[in-house]
Chains A and B, each alone.
Chain A
């Protein structure tokens, strides 16, 4: 893939470094993301993933619907 980019940007001095930088940014982006995600605390995750289930509504719709069943 490098040669395609080189072909079009050869006028720029030291252009070879750009694709390398891009690749590094790309790989780093994922390494950092994965490391941080793996290191997250279990309690935090439980708390976050429960958010849709606690909506603070004062009307228990499900129960009411069940009553009418």
Chain B
């Protein structure tokens, strides 16, 4: 048989390694800022009250940065290293490798610029605007193309299990990203989700959940199947188990999305499916974890000395904990406590910090000495990193578990007389303050550890020299005959394209069963005739609500539970959201639910509260939105927005786009006048003379704040009895 000489590309691995470290630290620092905002809201309001630093804009930056920049680059780093070696082939095209690298970094930079500016689609973990979505698609195809071409020109016969995970990741992320990103652009910086309300929620959480499954889990499991045997220098515990692990995991995972929507307006059957499949997920997840840990059987003594193995063992343990907790959280009775609280935050951080970050650190400590051909600069420093990071995870997670549990129970608590024990939502937030401080400390420790690692790795790189092209040779066995008959799995495993198609079918089944009926069976979303489209000003206000990222702290979904209806009003029905492109149900309540906020308080209350939340609610964590009183709301895009909504099926009357701006201004004037009247009556008599009412109204009526108030006052009004204020809204917008 012929022996071929070739080389592995280590330079691209180095590039992605630096990218994952730098973006990792950046993303964590942004997370720390967000955590500090909740721990010390006064300080941020007084000294750092900039719009681009406000929690609602920073939190999406944090989530996107750690998922797509930190873990994303981590995936590419590990895949570009292991894929070449498992296939005994250099990447098919160096050019594509570098397009993949620079393109991905460009997308991240776009995110870093647009998200703090409030350019957002308002869908969690998919906030990036339409043209960035297209860029992501292109870059993902570049990655897939390079990967498949390498697989096709491989020198070995079989595809090792790690590669199956990479293929499933590629194909599923593509499907998820494309389907969830169907949006109608209005301008360069604004688009509307093609789906509305319940359907949008279902697609979003099918995406959101599987972004966890196929971006944070499957690629890392693939990497686990490569790096753990490599580090332990022994084969994986059970290859048979890895086959079962793979197929069961990708088949079951895709169904579990609806567990993010328990007790919501999503049809019951879809919720139940989500729960059942989430429980089943324990089996493959734990199968994978045990397979990883048992690979170390007989080598546990090495864990004591090898820092890389330490990181991996903790990572696998965290993976085990988090995949046990996930199914528990999907049980309805547990979920009724945990949902919308910090429990979820604790859960994802055990996954994010414990599993993804710890595993990435392990890979980095293993890779640097190998590609730079030198010993690690300081083993001691790496060990210190390990302990400080582990402590960081604990200090992060434990306070958040307590906070989540506490808040969940406080919401549910009734007094003996049948009234809520904590009727003020704020009481359930201020009680969490000490835990928020501890959490920030945990995060800080974790970042300090990462910085120590960065220093250690740079020193390592400096003391060695990059082996950019690692010489290798291999016997070409791709087309060799197999003795003793065909091996069943080879039928697909030998043929990567067929393998991809089979995995595609396997992952599509779950998605289709859940999504298609919700889209096409009308009885799943019963219409409510009283629900009408938003007025243009309210629509503008809604866009500002999305821009400011209000959904990061406020839900718009009252669950059919007594403690919820008692606090917020009648539970939310699916028919109420039919014009919501995108839906804004939220997933976390740092502030109260707003689904029935309309008409509860005066316009003046909202005006004061938005500008100085702490004046009205002592101890509130809400940022002061002072810039909304300085900025004028946009009128130029409104006709296009109305036309876009019409395209998406919102029944505005024909030609309404032309009248929209006029109506907008009329409604704004009514609200502005109402607020100004209250401002004047709240001013001491002696000072009232100095106020010019007309001038004040003219000044106020064009401001973003007015549009926002219009939207807030509309929430839940359709299904409420009409109050005089609501009737004052221009009737023409209520079309037909």
Is A58's CB under 8 angstroms from B473's CB?
yes
> Looking across the interface, which residue of chain B has its beta carbon closest to that of A50?
B235
Is B269's CB under 8 angstroms from A51's CB?
no
Give the residue among A4, A39, A55 with the most B Cβ atoms within 10 A.
A55
Asked if A17 lies at the interface with its beta carbon under 8 angstroms from chain B, I say: no
CA distance A47 to B671 in the complex (A): 75
Assess A57 versus B375: contact at CB under 8 Å? Given A33-B244, A48-B239: no
Q: Which residues of B contact A52 (CB under 8 A)?
A: 82, 85-86, 160, 162, 225-226, 229-230, 235-236
> Looking across the interface, which residue of chain A has its beta carbon closest to that of B155?
A56
Assess A29 versus B240: contact at CB under 8 Å? Given A51-B156, A56-B474: no
Q: Which residues of B contact A47 (CB under 8 A)?
A: 158
CA distance A52 to B513 in the complex (A): 37
CA distance A37 to B248 in the complex (A): 13
Q: Which residues of A contact B373 (CB under 8 A)?
A: 59, 61, 64-65
Instruction: Give the size range of B's interface with the partner.
Output: 35 or more
> Looking across the interface, which residue of chain A has its beta carbon closest to that of B239?
A49
Interface residues of A in 17-34 (CB under 8 A from B): 22, 29-30, 33-34
Partner of B86, one of A51, A57, A65: A51
> Looking across the interface, which residue of chain B has its beta carbon closest to that of A61?
B370
Asked if B57 lies at the interface with its beta carbon under 8 angstroms from chain A, I say: no
Asked if B420 lies at the interface with its beta carbon under 8 angstroms from chain A, I say: no
Is B470's CB under 8 angstroms from A59's CB?
yes
Q: Which residues of A contact B85 (CB under 8 A)?
A: 52, 55-57
Is B229's CB under 8 angstroms from A8's CB?
no
Give the residue among A1, A47, A52, A58 with the most B Cβ atoms within 10 A.
A52
Partner of A53, one of B233, B272, B474: B233
Is A68's CB under 8 angstroms from B374's CB?
yes
Is A57's CB under 8 angstroms from B8's CB?
yes
Is A57's CB under 8 angstroms from B235's CB?
no
Q: Which residues of A contact B251 (CB under 8 A)?
A: 29
> Looking across the interface, which residue of chain A has its beta carbon closest to that of B82?
A52
Is B269's CB under 8 angstroms from A5's CB?
yes
Interface residues of B in 446-485 (CB under 8 A from A): 467, 470-474, 484
Q: Which residues of B contact A36 (CB under 8 A)?
A: 488-489
> Looking across the interface, which residue of chain A has its beta carbon closest to that of B276?
A1
Chain A proximity mask over B403-417: 1 for CB below 8 Å, otherwise 0: 000000000000000
Measured CB to CB, the closest approach of chain A to B238, in angstroms, equals 8
Q: Which residues of A contact B269 (CB under 8 A)?
A: 1, 4-5, 7-8
Measured CB to CB, the closest approach of chain A to B331, in angstroms, equals 15
Measured CB to CB, the closest approach of chain B to A33, in angstroms, equals 6
Interface residues of B in 353-379 (CB under 8 A from A): 369-370, 373-375
Partner of B467, one of A30, A40, A59: A59
Chain A proximity mask over B60-98: 1 for CB below 8 Å, otherwise 0: 000000000000000000000010011010000000000
Which stretch (B171-179, B516-524, B593-601, B660-668) binds chain A?
A: B516-524
Measured CB to CB, the closest approach of chain A to B470, in angstroms, equals 6
> Looking across the interface, which residue of chain B has its beta carbon closest to that of A7?
B269
Assess A55 versus B472: contact at CB under 8 Å? Given A7-B269, A8-B267, A37-B244: yes
Q: Which residues of B contact A46 (CB under 8 A)?
A: 235
Asked if B268 lies at the interface with its beta carbon under 8 angstroms from chain A, I say: yes
Measured CB to CB, the closest approach of chain B to A19, in angstroms, equals 10
Q: Which residues of B contact A45 (CB under 8 A)?
A: 239-240
Q: Which residues of A contact B225 (CB under 8 A)?
A: 52
CA distance A40 to B156 in the complex (A): 20
Measured CB to CB, the closest approach of chain A to B258, in angstroms, equals 12
Q: Which residues of B contact A58 (CB under 8 A)?
A: 470-473
| Chain A residues within 8 Å of B, Cβ to Cβ | 1, 4-5, 7-9, 22, 29-30, 33-34, 36-41, 44-53, 55-59, 61, 64-65, 68-69
List 7 A–B pairs whose Cβ atoms lie within 8 Å, in order of A's numbering.
A9-B521, A33-B248, A45-B240, A47-B158, A48-B158, A57-B85, A65-B375
Q: Which 6 A-B pairs have the closest CB atoms?
A: A4-B269, A55-B85, A49-B235, A56-B474, A49-B239, A51-B160
- Known contacts A39-B488, A59-B471, then 18 further A-B pairs from the complex at CB < 8 Å, ordered by chain A residue: A1-B269, A1-B272, A8-B269, A8-B521, A33-B243, A36-B489, A41-B484, A48-B158, A52-B85, A52-B235, A56-B472, A56-B474, A57-B471, A57-B472, A58-B473, A59-B373, A61-B369, A65-B369
| Chain B residues within 8 Å of A, Cβ to Cβ | 8, 82, 85-86, 88, 155-156, 158, 160-162, 225-226, 229-230, 233-236, 239-240, 243-244, 247-248, 251, 267-269, 272-273, 276, 369-370, 373-375, 467, 470-474, 484, 487-489, 513, 517, 521, 523-524
